[in-house]
Amino acid sequence: MNAIEVRDLNKSFGKVQAVAGLSFFARQGEVLSLLGPNGAGKSTTISMLSGLIEPDGGSAEIFGHSIRAEPQAAKARLGVVPQEIALYPDLTARENLIFWGKMYGLRGAALAKRVDAVLETIGLNGRQRDRVGTYSGGMKRRVNIGAALLHEPAVVIMDEPTVGIDPQSRRHILDHVKALNRAGATVLYTTHYMEEAAELSDHIAILDQGRVIAYGTHAELIAQSGGLARIDLTLNVEAERVLPAWRSVPGLAHLDVVDGHVTALVDDSNALLPRLFELATQAGARIMTVDIREPNLESVFLELTGKALRDEA
């Protein structure tokens, strides 16, 4: 049985269709990342899976329990880490964890044991008696995650848990997700950071405009895009002066201009770059900067949608 099974899920807000016939699944014990820019429908999907909002149509199941027909049974197996910090700032970390533990049905010695274990895991034992309101953003994020893990849920849903935090806390969180997964939890992880999706995931579903546009392992997705490298260039003149010439170059799969920056997807950057320099010189333009990225999820997204992941992030 799949840990998460989503079929043809739909949700509209007024005239805006946030989720449009979304389908995906997560096998038990794997990390599945939903990757997409802001507005792709990731958070709406998470909200529907968590029981926060009702889908307009379709179905979603957690270990076979429908989120619509059996919401309590589905929620009992879920630990949700919301995108925003959802803690009481005037309570200490320990008090917060005790409260949320009780909300997940833990009591007495079992609760105390789990609170101690989670504090150890998130590395906040030393400051457990301090009010959360006095913590840094990264520390709050860690408590935010810890609160969802107290009842050792079979499925952990994490909605962009690393947004707006320092690199050290981000590293801590990513390591923690891996540890969770090693301990047997199924993790549904949403992000618009392709590096995180690449590092953490067994499978990745790329979302755009409320639907899955690609699904597979990291390697499968790279292969789907044809293994194209991405080259970002800036010129000393308007890009339109060189674009006609560049578009005729064999091996250049995609060419796009955003805010004067030229993005190209190419099959062999070493072979192609000299030709691009040559054509620029002939057009009276000078290439000022060049940034080459080997094939990655961003280039996959660019290939599939014609736009960059972070343009909308």
Partner 1 sequence: MKVLILTLKDLEQIVNDRKSLLFLVVMPIVFTFFMGIAYGGSTTTADTRLRLAWISADPEAPLAQRLFERLAGSATVNPVRMAAAEAQTALTNNEVAGMLIVPGGFGVEPMAAQPALQLVADPASVSGQTLYRTVQLALTEWLSSAEIARLSVAAAPGEDPAQTWQIAFDQAWAAWGEQVVSGRVRVEQAVAIASEAPFGGNPYNQTSPGILVQFAIFGLVSSAQILMQERKLRTLQRLLTTEMRPWEIVAGHMLAMFAVVFGQTVLLIALGQWALGVDYLRDAGATFLIAIALGLWVACLGLLIGVVARSDDQVVLYSMLAMFVFSALGGTWFPLEFAGGVFAAIGGLLPSAWAMIGFQNIVIRGQGLASAWAPAGVLLAYALGFFGLAVWRFQKVIG
Comparing CB distances to partner 1, the nearer of 13 and 288 is 13
Q: How far is the CB of 126 from partner 1 (least distance, A)?
A: 22
**Whole-number Å distance between alpha carbons of 31 and 201:** 5
Our CB check for partner 1 shows the closer of 83 and 234 to be: 83
> For residues 97 and 276, which CB has a smaller minimum distance to partner 1 in the complex?
97
Chain residues binding partner 1 by CB under 8 A are: 50-54, 72, 75-76, 78, 80, 82, 84-91, 95, 99-100, 102-105, 147
Residue 16 CB-half CA count within 13 A = 7
Instruction: Using the structure block, give the residue that is written with the tokens 């949403």.
Output: 190
Give the residue with the Cβ less far from partner 1, 109 or 219: 109
10 Å CB burial of residue 313 (0-12, 13-18, 19+) is middle
Question: Which two tokens mark 222?
Answer: 């790279």
Q: How far is the CB of 49 from partner 1 (least distance, A)?
A: 9
Q: Is 293 strand, coil or helix?
A: strand
Taking the complex as a whole, how short is the minimal distance between the CB of residue 72 and partner 1, in angstroms?
Answer: 5
Tokens coding 152: 């050792």
- Judged by beta carbon, residue 18 or residue 87, the one nearer partner 1 is 87
Measured from the CB of residue 26, what is the shortest distance to partner 1 in angstroms? 17
CB 158 within 8 A of CB 189: yes
H-run or E-run covering 38:
none
Q: Least distance to partner 1 from the beta carbon of 23, Å?
A: 22
